[in-house]
A and B are shown apart, each in its own frame.
Chain A
């Protein structure tokens, strides 16, 4: 039986979380993702779960810490400034190896910025964000359907790697209404038992959830355990979409909302006779470096398009290793690039490449 509904991306994420078994949601209101909390406020009681509106994002992320440590599937959601406030707690969660899902519906920054869509938290999401050596696993949906699918997958990945997973979207993904089908993850992830979780009744085997290791060799070992786990994730969890790349002479690299717009631009460009393809990272961490490396050299020109001043751009360059020419087009402050602008950029590049 298919469970198909017409709903906004934010609501799709909330419902997907519930269907993935999340029963504890803690968050603080912030635009443009309030629909997630408002959905959870009625939906959680309906399934016997907990919705708690925290006093701040700082408190919300530590409630997640507490619930994750207690063995539950738990989630919080916010937007850029709120995610900045959570960074302390995210570092502690990564250090204590607690599984949880964090949704960031990015808005324009820096500072209070604006409330319109942006992709300017890419660095924060993929490179660490808080203090210390750790990474989140980061998934970037491009449609409402994918937002639902990736949210379900995120809970499995969090449990599998005992690591926080971030759904990195933007105001567009969150607000756009589309038909959404709820289906369990296609991939069968083998989930380890949570024998480390605090559940009471642990006579003689008490559980301890912590991140303080005053002895440097022991702390170094803890860091190595996390690094090893992330290397394993880098081997297993790279996800991307190749769209019309087989014969492409130009490749657009974009994720999320921008990738969707790029597909429209590609149709127009192909009608004009330009062979353009799209490489769309779905997992931003681990990043699909190898997919870029395989196209490096064969494809002369890459255009990275982001709603930022060029953040994913750096990872694309790492993947291409200087073997292709890399161009960048970015809009910021909440401005979403139109397909016309992307068409124009590729046409400019095609003239140079001639």
Chain B
């Protein structure tokens, strides 16, 4: 009988701790599939963030670092400089990448560091219980914006891809979402391109993934997916902001 669906070899055989409807599971799987398909499992290193994905090394069967909050790109830089033959990627959330680790991210991109970042943007701090993130939308209720985020009090959400696309060192910059099957297919293509950009030695690559957080958004998984498509994608448009020439 033909096998049409199986666990990617890059994923371990364990249940994850992620909540029902969370986008991390899909993103983990897509990343693992790409690593399998590129045949680079034995020479890929992942740097885990602080946040909901802090334990991702329990799920990815890869050599792994666990970073301090926001510092994953600096650790990835150190590893990649020692082992340029390895594929090194960071997996970071919005608080990790766009608040406490903004400097590390911007400068890794500016240096054209040959690493890849999988950036999961769910517009909230998940692990600490639903506080405002640097990507929380105006009007969005969180535990630290109980009346909804206002620009007067908390400023505006950061569009990371648009910002990084201005940097010469960033070779591949794309925003995708995992809110519906069509977008999931697109997301995988972008992740593959990002890894290929690194393997080709072209510079920094990042895929921002708009992702659902039903638990902290206080929605059902279906409502969350709809919210990503209608609200998040309106402020954070999907697409490729920078892409190297094919070759």
Q: Do A and B bind each other?
A: yes
A contact residues vs B (CB 8 Å cutoff):
24, 26, 50, 52, 54-56, 58-60, 62-72, 74, 88-89, 92, 198-203, 206-212
Could you tell me the distance between the alpha carbons of A206 and B62 in the complex, rounded to whole angstroms?
6
Closest residue of chain B to A23 (Cβ to Cβ) is B82
Task: Check: B75 CB closer than 8 A to any chain A CB.
Answer: yes
Instruction: Output the residue of B48, B76, B81, B82 with the most chain A CB within 10 A.
Output: B82
Could you tell me the distance between the alpha carbons of A63 and B88 in the complex, rounded to whole angstroms?
13
Residue numbers in A under 8 Å from B67 (CB-CB): 62
| Pairs across A and B, CB under 8 Å, 6 listed | A64-B78, A65-B78, A68-B78, A200-B85, A200-B86, A208-B57
Q: Contacting B74 at CB < 8 Å: which of A63, A68, A70, A71?
A: A63
Are B71 and A52 neighbours in the complex by a CB distance under 8 Å? no
Residue numbers in B under 8 Å from A208 (CB-CB): 57, 63-64, 66
Q: Contacting A66 at CB < 8 Å: which of B54, B77, B106?
A: B77
Residue numbers in B under 8 Å from A58 (CB-CB): 71, 74, 103-104
Interface residues of B in 59-104 (CB under 8 A from A): 61-68, 71, 74-83, 85-86, 103-104
Are A200 and B74 neighbours in the complex by a CB distance under 8 Å? no
Q: Contacting A63 at CB < 8 Å: which of B48, B64, B78?
A: B78
Residue numbers in B under 8 Å from A199 (CB-CB): 83
Residue numbers in B under 8 Å from A210 (CB-CB): 48, 57, 64-66
Q: Contacting A67 at CB < 8 Å: which of B54, B82, B103?
A: B82
Are B82 and A88 neighbours in the complex by a CB distance under 8 Å? no
Q: Contacting A65 at CB < 8 Å: which of B44, B61, B75?
A: B75
Interface residues of B in 228-245 (CB under 8 A from A): none
Closest residue of chain B to A209 (Cβ to Cβ) is B65
Are B78 and A67 neighbours in the complex by a CB distance under 8 Å? yes
Could you tell me the distance between the alpha carbons of A202 and B86 in the complex, rounded to whole angstroms?
12
Q: Contacting A62 at CB < 8 Å: which of B62, B63, B78, B85?
A: B78
Task: Check: B192 CB closer than 8 A to any chain A CB.
Answer: no
Instruction: Output the residue of A54, A56, A60, A198 with the most chain B CB within 10 A.
Output: A198
Distance to closest chain B CB from A313 (angstroms):
33
Distance to closest chain B CB from A130 (angstroms):
11
Closest residue of chain B to A210 (Cβ to Cβ) is B66
Are B43 and A59 neighbours in the complex by a CB distance under 8 Å? no
Distance to closest chain A CB from B119 (angstroms):
18
Could you tell me the distance between the alpha carbons of A62 and B77 in the complex, rounded to whole angstroms?
9
Are B79 and A55 neighbours in the complex by a CB distance under 8 Å? no
Could you tell me the distance between the alpha carbons of A56 and B102 in the complex, rounded to whole angstroms?
12
Are A70 and B78 neighbours in the complex by a CB distance under 8 Å? yes
Distance to closest chain B CB from A98 (angstroms):
10
Task: Check: B207 CB closer than 8 A to any chain A CB.
Answer: no
A200-B45, A208-B57, A212-B54 known; 9 other A-B pairs, CB under 8 Å? A54-B74, A59-B103, A62-B74, A198-B79, A200-B83, A201-B42, A206-B61, A208-B63, A212-B66
Residue numbers in A under 8 Å from B64 (CB-CB): 198, 206-210
Task: Check: B107 CB closer than 8 A to any chain A CB.
Answer: yes
Q: Contacting A70 at CB < 8 Å: which of B42, B55, B83, B107?
A: B83
Q: With A200-B43, A210-B57, A210-B65 as given contacts, are A89 and B78 in contact (CB-CB < 8 Å)?
A: no
Closest residue of chain B to A73 (Cβ to Cβ) is B82
Residue numbers in A under 8 Å from B107 (CB-CB): 54-55, 59
Could you tell me the distance between the alpha carbons of A203 and B80 in the complex, rounded to whole angstroms?
19
Instruction: Output the residue of B75, B77, B83, B107 with the most chain A CB within 10 A.
Output: B75
Are B78 and A74 neighbours in the complex by a CB distance under 8 Å? yes
Q: With A55-B104, A67-B82, A206-B64 as given contacts, are A198 and B45 in contact (CB-CB < 8 Å)?
A: yes
Are A59 and B104 neighbours in the complex by a CB distance under 8 Å? yes
Q: With A92-B68, A198-B45 as given contacts, are A66 and B57 in contact (CB-CB < 8 Å)?
A: no
Could you tell me the distance between the alpha carbons of A83 and B45 in the complex, rounded to whole angstroms?
28
Are A52 and B57 neighbours in the complex by a CB distance under 8 Å? no
Distance to closest chain B CB from A202 (angstroms):
6
Distance to closest chain A CB from B38 (angstroms):
14
Closest residue of chain A to B84 (Cβ to Cβ) is A50
Could you tell me the distance between the alpha carbons of A11 and B194 in the complex, rounded to whole angstroms?
41
Q: With A24-B81, A212-B54 as given contacts, are A69 and B103 in contact (CB-CB < 8 Å)?
A: no
Are B42 and A203 neighbours in the complex by a CB distance under 8 Å? yes
Residue numbers in B under 8 Å from A64 (CB-CB): 78
Could you tell me the distance between the alpha carbons of A268 and B86 in the complex, rounded to whole angstroms?
61
Are A67 and B79 neighbours in the complex by a CB distance under 8 Å? yes
Could you tell me the distance between the alpha carbons of A59 and B110 in the complex, rounded to whole angstroms?
14
Are B77 and A198 neighbours in the complex by a CB distance under 8 Å? no
Residue numbers in B under 8 Å from A55 (CB-CB): 103-104, 106-107
Closest residue of chain B to A64 (Cβ to Cβ) is B78
